[in-house]
Structure 1
Amino acid sequence: MVIRSDGTASESQSQCCLDDDNSINSKCSEDSKYEQPLVKYGELIILGYNGTIFREKSKKRKSKFVLYRREKPNGIKQAKHYTVKNPSSTQAIIDTKQHSISFTLNRNQAVIIEYTLDEETDMFQIGRSSEKPIDFIVLDTLQAGVDHKNMASTISRFACRILCNRNTLECRVFAAGFDSSSNIFLGEKATKWQEQHEMIDGLTTNGILIMHPPNGSFSYNPDNQQPPMWREVSVGGGIFSVRETRSAPQKGVQVASVSNVLQDGTLIDLCGATLLWRSAEGLAKSPTKQYLEELIEKLNASRPVCPVGLNTLVIPRKSVLNNDKQQPYVYLNCGHVQGLHDWGQETHSSLRTCPMCLKESSSVVKLCMGIEPSFYVDTKDTGPYCFNPCGHMATENTVKYWSRIGIPLGTNGFESFCPFCATQLEGHPGYTKLIFN
């Protein structure tokens, strides 16, 4: 049984499907036990969604994409390149089954790279377009507190492609994806270059940025204070320092020591949405959704109580509880967890006084568990923490890891965000240790 990249099953096992947590459902187990097991490359998870995209019916648009080895390889490799005067009339461009990249140098000259089928690789494409070549549709992640009216998308229709080696399971990311005619066009104004004795290469308009995890490990290390650097990946897979601004015409400096091979914890920024790559090996060592639910049950079993209303609080699995009296809130300045009450509310001020420590706090927010397991860097139960100011709970090392990671924002800025809701973190260090009564 083979599950394609769009989530549908092969015709022989069309009744099989993926559950919301991307596991094969029980109806498949009996029919698929004689089939070859699926080979998993890894997962791509969009930052800002706590395990799901609500009200989305498209099989191609999800908060998480699972990459499996395809039934038949569809990868490509470079075959030849040549210079032409009129690329639009070239056979490689006209043939919709021939993958090619066209680099326009001027009105009368273009370089075309032709590709041929590579039996050793699978190709997956990501972008904003809903056309057939796109395996995974990614739209702009809407950040909380930002006016989104009349906001144009900055994600390319054919943003990037990933080539996965069917034998070694190594995955590489490249800027730009092939359109419905199997072509990639870099116009005359696009950033491109051709060094002596090297293949021509170029960058997309807003660029595809990647950042590998510190020391090659998706984990929190308190001794490593230096955050990793973002790099830009080219159409040909080269790695360069980021441009002065996102769409600047001048390319950055080539970084030969960094490759486009995805590591467990690599971030891919599409200029409007950021993806986290988790390898199959890394996910095997990560917490499961069941483990996170057990953490919630353990905390709720301790029956935390509001010190003012004396009512029992319940940590929700979803964003809100049906019972407001049981919904826990946190005073972000001190970390004390309480229920909803009016004690300590200033009459003509937004400040609240915590009844436990009498500290003033400008923010009192609802608590909710971060339930997407792929964002967790470990399984250590060291007591609950939450991000400031959204209130999403996670393990200590998880909040400390993400509070150090700067995500691209705007044309040349980088800010730390909560991975569960894409809310920009506030204050230092951007998280709070929770204190339950």
Structure 2
Amino acid sequence: MLQSVPNTVWSWRDTAGQAPSVEQQCRRFRFTPVIGDLRSPVYFRCNGSLTTGDKGRQRRRTALYKKPVSNGVKPDFIRITPTPLASKALSNSDQHSVFYTLSQSRSVIVEYGHDSNTDMFQIGRSTETLIDFVVTDTTPGNCSTGGLHTTQSTISRFACRISCERDPPYSARIYAAGFDSSKNIFLGERAAKWRTPDGLMDGLTTNGVLVMHPRQGFSDGSVPGVWREISVCGNVYALRETRSAQQRGKLVENESNVLQDGSLIDLCGATLLWRTTEGLDKAPTLKHLEALRQEFNAARPQCPVGFNTLAFPSLEQCNVVVKKQPWVYISCGHVHGYHSWGCRPEAGGGAGTERECPLCRRVGPYVPLWMGCEAGSYLDAGPPSHAFCPCGHVCSAKTVKYWARILLPHGTHDFHAACPFCATWLTGDKGYIKLIYQGPVD
């Protein structure tokens, strides 16, 4: 989760560090790697934590703080030059530039000057120090393979950059592509690019940076918005026919690249969730989730067949099946303790196996239930009444219904709803099920 906090002195910190004091009340921005393109083999996060640990710049959430010295940039000068000469011009490591190749003999360089009013933070797959937030591809429902890279990754090494204002209202804007170690951005001859009405150049990256702003904010009444593509200059366009098509979509003039609470950013391999201070102040915390877990366990729900008491494991053990683990029949929502009966003759006996519910006789997957542990993905602090299908991650009714309506980009032109806690594609008519618990018999 990226969190940008304007206070007296900004520095790079992570959310494991000491939180700002009350005297340092300030605006925060948070990024949560939630779900992503489900094609890639490297898992990016696992229900609120990375199996390799939250360390370095590869985290499930990361904080951005105001820098001691501004490093923001803005377009300053444009020039057309022969391509060979342009290559020499870009060797200046003190100058931020965007290099547009129009042909083998003609290029356009847009030089960027210093912007003392903003701080720039970069996101990408590269582990170079200039990348503030290292992201890797997401594998649905599995844990990380332990590597930072994947040879088949579709995430750019320098995927995007975010410019945060140093003064109120502290707006944060997103731009496609990030500057490399030579402070350059290259758009090759085949990349989509064009001259803008104000005389500058603009373009799109190979797989694009997509953004979706929710309507009515990220709250109880949130409604998913429309996916748009962000250009190198931060302009908003309708989606291309396919993810990497050379023809850009139509300019959307009434929308901007300013991030809002709940904005989703898709990097073609990982999707990030942006949270603001105002939204987080109203959102549940890990303490709220722990209280919900304890309240559920205190009610002593029981297996309707075995009559054994059920209990969710602690949030620290959210991926470890325990003896009292609640299990659910996905087809009907009846919650049981684990048992070995009811398997279909043609199936095995593991998690997800097709089984017949002993209460209603409906047949479907039988999976363990897990508390959703990424608090930033919750819309409210409602009770754990619903679960995503087929993974079994549990959260509030409003949260599960909201995420089930969001279709996330996948591949070149597909969209699928997915669980925000494990990235598993949702199945069934709704993508979720209402849980039917049985109270204690005594």
Which category describes the TM-score, using the shorter chain as reference length? 0.7 to 0.9
Report what 2:343 is aligned to: 345
Aligned to 1:41: 28
Mean alpha-carbon deviation: is it higher for 342-351 or for 91-100? Answer: 342-351
2-side partners of 1:195 and 1:79: how far apart? 15
Matches within 5 A, 1:139-178: 139-144=136-141, 152-167=152-167, 168-178=169-179
Pairwise mapping of residues 110-121 of structure 1 onto structure 2 (< 5 A)? 110-121=107-118
- Cα deviation digits, residues 56-92 of structure 1 (max 9, x gap): 4641000112222222211111111111113655675
Task: Say how many residue pairs are matched.
Answer: 409
- The question of 1:284 aligning with 2:281 is answered yes
Amino acid at match of 2:126: S
Cα distance in structure 2, aligned partners of 1:410 and 1:89 = 34
Q: Mapping of 1:256-271 within 5 angstroms? A: 256-271=253-268
Change over 3 Å in CA distance of 1:58–1:315 after alignment to 2? closer
**Partner-residue secondary structure (3-state), 2:62:** strand
Shift of 1:100: 0.8
Residue number in structure 2 paired with 1:355: 358
Structure 1 residues 83 and 256: CA distance shift in structure 2, 3 A: same
Do structure 1's residue 426 and structure 2's residue 413 form an aligned pair?
A: no
Q: Corresponding residue for 2:368?
A: 366
CA contact (8 A) 2:142 2:422 kept: no
Looking at structure 2, the residues matched to 37 and 319 of structure 1 have their Cα atoms a distance apart, in angstroms, of 33
SS at match of 2:121: strand
Deviations 1:298-322 (A, max 9, x none): 0000011112222111112233446
Aligned residue number for residue 327 of structure 1: 325
Task: State the one-letter code of the partner of 1:44.
Answer: F
- SS at 1:106 equivalent: coil
Q: In structure 1, what is the equivalent of residue 72 of structure 2?
A: 75
The equivalences for 1:220-231 within 5 A come to 220-221=220-221, 227-231=224-228
Q: Secondary structure at the match of 2:423?
A: coil
Choose between structure 1 and 2 for higher RCO, CA contacts under 8 A separated by at least 6 residues: 2
Unaligned runs of 5+ in 1: 8-17
Q: Is 1:192 aligned with 2:193?
A: yes
Helix, strand or coil at the partner of 2:102: strand
How far, CA to CA, are the matches of 1:6 and 1:84 in structure 2? 41
**1:126 and 1:177 in contact (8 A); partners too:** yes
- Please tell me whether the aligned partners of residues 121 and 131 of structure 2 are also in contact (alpha carbons under 8 angstroms): yes
Partner of 1:408: 409
Contact 2:354 2:366 (8 Å CA) reproduced: no
Q: CA contact under 8 A between 2:321 and 2:368: conserved in structure 1?
A: no
Say if 1:87 and 1:65 are closer, same or farther in 2 by CA, change over 3 A: farther
User: Residue 13 of structure 1 aligns with which residue?
Assistant: none
Q: State the 1:246 CA deviation.
A: 0.6
For 2:380 and 2:322, how far apart are their aligned partners in 1?
Answer: 31
Distance 1:97 1:151 in 2: 31
Separation (CA, whole Å) in 2 of partners of 1:198 and 1:293: 55
Question: Which residue of structure 2 lines up, in the alignment, with residue 11 of structure 1?
Answer: none
Report if aligned partners of 1:334, 1:359 keep a CA contact under 8 Å in 2.
no
Partner of 1:15: none
Say which SS state the counterpart of residue 24 (structure 2) adopts: coil
* 3-state SS of 1:429 partner: coil
Match in the other structure for 1:24: 18
Please name the residue that 2:39 is paired with: none
Find runs of 4+ consecutive structure 1 residues off by over 4 angstroms: 87-92, 148-151
> SS of the residue aligned with 1:292?
helix
For structure 2, the residue ranges without an aligned partner over 5 or more in a row are 1-7, 36-44, 348-352
Q: Is the 8 A contact 2:97 2:185 kept in 1?
A: yes
> Partner amino acid for 2:162?
I
When residues 380 and 339 of structure 1 are mapped into structure 2, their CA distance, relative to the original with a 3 A threshold, is closer
Deviation at 1:197, TM superposition (A): 4.1
Deviation larger for 372-381 or 80-89: 80-89
Structure 1 equivalent of residue 218 of structure 2: 218
Q: How far, CA to CA, are the matches of 1:45 and 1:127 in structure 2?
A: 14
1:362 match: secondary structure: strand
**Structure 1 partner of 2:132:** 135
1: CA distance between counterparts of 2:339 and 2:85? 68
Aligned mates of 2:231, 2:334 — CA distance in 1: 48
Q: Is the 8 A contact 1:403 1:430 kept in 2?
A: yes
Mapped to 2, the partners of 1:288 and 1:376 lie a distance apart of: 9
Q: State the SS of the aligned residue for 2:90.
A: helix
- 1:359 deviates by 2.9
CA contact (8 A) 1:41 1:69 kept: no
2:378 is matched with 376
Alignment match, 1:392: 393
Q: CA RMSD in A?
A: 2.4
Per-residue CA distance 1:369-417 (angstroms, 9 max, x = gap) = 0011100112234x51110000000000000000000000111000000
The question of whether the paired residues in 1 share the 8 Å contact of 2:73 and 2:112 is answered with yes
Deviates more, 1:118-127 or 1:187-196: 187-196
The answer as to whether partners of 2:86 and 2:107 remain within 8 angstroms in 1 is no
